Structure 1
Amino acid sequence: MRKKRVLLLSEGFGSGHTQAAYALAVGLRQLSPGIQTKVIELGKFLNPVLGPWIISAYRKTVSKQPKMVGMMYRSNYKKSLNRFTQLALHRMFYTQTSQVITQLKPDLIVCTHPVPNAVVARLKRLGLDIPLYTLITDYDAHGSWINQEVTKYLVSTSLVKKKLTDRGVSATHIEVTGIPVHPNFWETYDKDASRLQFNLLPMPTVLIMGGGWGLMYEDNLVDYMTKWRDSVQLIFCVGSNEKVREKMLADPIFQHRNIRVLGFTREVSKLMDVSDLLITKPGGMTCTEGMSKGIPMLFYSPIPGQEEENCEYFVRNGFGELLESAETVDKWFALIQEPYASGQFRRTLEAKRNQQYNPTSCPSAVLRLMQ
């Protein structure tokens, strides 16, 4: 009997979209070992020169002109991709995307970014007869996600579902599944073993993430955090940005026995388990991973648009707080040094998580819907 095949299409505008695709792919295989999955970043795969250049330009715009990004997000907030954009995407991707689909013969296509979502939707208008699931990877619903040809929307919360229905999407085409996280985040790891693996001490620990695009190193609050380094262990994760890592390692303020500066790692789940506080950009994926671990979060410098919406959701629901000043740092760095208060808060967060989020829901829903 032929194994079921799922093709997951994403884009590299921020790591969260592709992370969500891989998380869902691995989750599907974990729950149903016979299933076959393939994840592709469409632009990079089909245009290996132009695709990375466009993403690099986007990164520079985010870091240098975030207000412009927010303005573009808001100005088209309630609009689907216009006909000109859809036609341009169609001309860029039509032939090659059709060939990929013909070659892989998927039973289901899942898109975790609006660009491949629009490309596949147009292919469906032209006769492609494969279900299209759209996984919205934030706690908001921008109009660019919406296409009539989508078979099912997989969304993070009931609020996002309402935003879609308010724009004319039938409620029967929407499933509240939560954003999927990698199965590594489905379990809790032994703290002592993880500390030994990363050469960490058993002391109050803060995990600081989001430096992969170089947006964190220049922040004055990062320097301020290091003033706590004698009583709080600091783990900086800067992803694949080796330039930032080298700068930090060469900077005397980060040269301390209680400070670790890490590059790319697949062990974020373990690092969250040994940490008492997570400081991060409010991207949909990282926030969902933090929620899945029940770790309190501080959010810094949300990019205008979807990150602001993500931040608002997690703050409103009590999972974290906006990092606005040195006073916020002092408050939380002092709290995690009080075992009773810190433990009580963590248990409260875990109870909220259990009410609002189940990490297996999204892959389970996809498998059920495939039936």
Structure 2
Amino acid sequence: MRKKRVLLLSEGFGSGHTQAAYALAAGLRQLSPDVQTRVLELGKFLNPVLGPLIMSAYRKTVGKQPKLVGMMYRTNYKRSFNRFAQLAIHRIFYTQTEQVIQQLRPEIIVCTHPGPNAAVARLKRLGLDVPLYTLITDYDAHGTWASPEVNHYLVSTPVVKRKLMDRGIPSGRIEVTGIPVHPQFWQSQDQADARSGLGLRSLPTVLVMGGGWGLMEEEDEFFTYMTRWREEVQLIFCTGTNEKSRESMLADERFNHPNIQVLGFTREISKLMDAADLLVTKPGGMTCTEGMSKGIPMLFYKPIPGQEEENLDYFIGSGFGEMLQSTATIDRWFRLIQEPYSSGKRRQRLQSKSSQQYDPQECPSAVLRLMQ
């Protein structure tokens, strides 16, 4: 019997959309051996020359002009893609989408970015007979996610569900599933074992991340200040794909210490979160959901205006972290994690809170139920 095929379509504007697609794909395969998945960054796949240029331009805009990104997000917040916009998006970026779908013959399509979502919605309006599920990968519901052709929405929280309902989407077409994380994050490892397995020292440990694009050089004020604690605290900086940032940090003598590691891209984030006592991160939807699944306290820095601000509000309001306001915030938390009993109790409380609010298996389970 042929396996059920799930096509997951994303885009690389930030890493969270595609990470969510891969996480859902892995979760589906973990829960059901009868499911076959395929993840595509559709615009990049269809436009191998133009796609990376657009992503590079977007990345530079986020880094250099974040206020412009926020203004664009807020200006179009309530607007969905109308038929003209869908046509333009299809003609410019997604002209061969229908051929891809016909070739792969999926039972369902899951979109984790508004662009492919709009393209598939247009094809459905023109006669495509494949269910379309939309997975919103932040703790907000921008208008561009909404489309009458979507069969079902998978969202992070009841607040996001309410925002979609306010846009006229029936409650029965929206399910609160949380954002999926990779099965690696479904369970936590003992902290001492995680440190031992990663070759880390038995010290209070801080994991510093900047999302899939890594740490940006503009944020080095806080990071260099953290190195003042390098005798008492173990610091792990993950620069992701930002090799320039990694090279810059490695060339700085302040980061050359036995208790400091500067990592590039790594697939060990789950283990690193198990080993750490504190996560310092930008409030991207995926990274914060991974941190929540592990019950690790978080400090958030410099959110990109728009969805990251909404993510920030959610996680601070839910008690999973706070804003990194100043070096005084660093000093206070770096002292707190040196108290083993208090630090352990704090982690237990957050893990209990997380299990009450979030089931990491719910999103793939919901998709499997919808496929039946």
Normalised TM-score (structure 2): 0.97
1:282–1:211 Cα change, 3 Å: closer
Instruction: State the superposition RMSD in angstroms.
Output: 1.2
Paired residues in the alignment total 371
Question: How far did residue 216 of structure 1 move?
Answer: 3.4
| Residue 291 (structure 2) aligns with | 290
Matches within 5 A, 1:90-129: 90-129=90-129
2:150 maps to 1:142: no
Question: How far did residue 197 of structure 1 move?
Answer: 3.9
Task: Find the aligned partners of 1:211 and 1:309 in 2 and give their Cα distance.
Answer: 16
| Residue 307 (structure 1) aligns with | 308
| Residue 187 (structure 2) aligns with | 187
Task: Find the aligned partners of 1:288 and 1:194 in 2 and give their Cα distance.
Answer: 20
Question: How far did residue 156 of structure 1 move?
Answer: 0.2
1:154–1:43 Cα change, 3 Å: same
Partner deviation per Cα, 1:36-55 (whole Å, 9 max, x = no partner): 00000001100011111101
1:150–1:34 Cα change, 3 Å: same
Question: How far did residue 6 of structure 1 move?
Answer: 0.2
1:288–1:224 Cα change, 3 Å: same
Partner deviation per Cα, 1:153-206 (whole Å, 9 max, x = no partner): 000000000000011110011000000000000122244443234321011000
Partner deviation per Cα, 1:309-346 (whole Å, 9 max, x = no partner): 00000000100001110111011111000112111111
Matches within 5 A, 1:1-371: 1-210=1-210, 213=213, 215-219=215-219, 220-371=221-372
Partner deviation per Cα, 1:275-321 (whole Å, 9 max, x = no partner): 00000000000000000000000000000000000000000010000
Q: What letter is aligned with 2:204?
A: P
Question: How far did residue 218 of structure 1 move?
Answer: 2.8
Task: Find the aligned partners of 1:201 and 1:274 in 2 and give their Cα distance.
Answer: 10
Q: What letter is aligned with 2:257?
A: H
Q: Which sections of structure 2, spanning at least 5 residues, go unmatched?
A: none
1:197–1:234 Cα change, 3 Å: same
Task: Find the aligned partners of 1:155 and 1:211 in 2 and give their Cα distance.
Answer: 21
Give the conservation status (yes or no) of the 8 Å contact 2:300–2:321.
yes
Question: How far did residue 83 of structure 1 move?
Answer: 4.0
Task: Find the aligned partners of 2:178 and 2:30 in 1 and give their Cα distance.
Answer: 17
Task: State the SS of the aligned residue for 2:90.
Answer: helix
Task: State the SS of the aligned residue for 1:222.
Answer: helix
Task: State the SS of the aligned residue for 2:353.
Answer: helix
Task: Find the aligned partners of 1:60 and 1:202 in 2 and give their Cα distance.
Answer: 39
Q: What letter is aligned with 1:342?
A: S
Task: State the SS of the aligned residue for 1:29.
Answer: helix
Q: What letter is aligned with 1:296?
A: P
Task: Find the aligned partners of 2:113 and 2:304 in 1 and give their Cα distance.
Answer: 17
Task: Find the aligned partners of 1:326 and 1:192 in 2 and give their Cα distance.
Answer: 28
Task: Find the aligned partners of 2:99 and 2:212 in 1 and give their Cα distance.
Answer: 33
Partner deviation per Cα, 1:120-151 (whole Å, 9 max, x = no partner): 00000000000000000000000000000000
1:273–1:94 Cα change, 3 Å: closer
Task: State the SS of the aligned residue for 1:337.
Answer: coil
Question: How far did residue 365 of structure 1 move?
Answer: 0.5
Task: State the SS of the aligned residue for 1:218.
Answer: helix
Give the conservation status (yes or no) of the 8 Å contact 2:16–2:212.
no
Task: State the SS of the aligned residue for 1:318.
Answer: coil
Give the conservation status (yes or no) of the 8 Å contact 1:181–1:288.
yes
Q: Which sections of structure 1, spanning at least 5 residues, go unmatched?
A: none
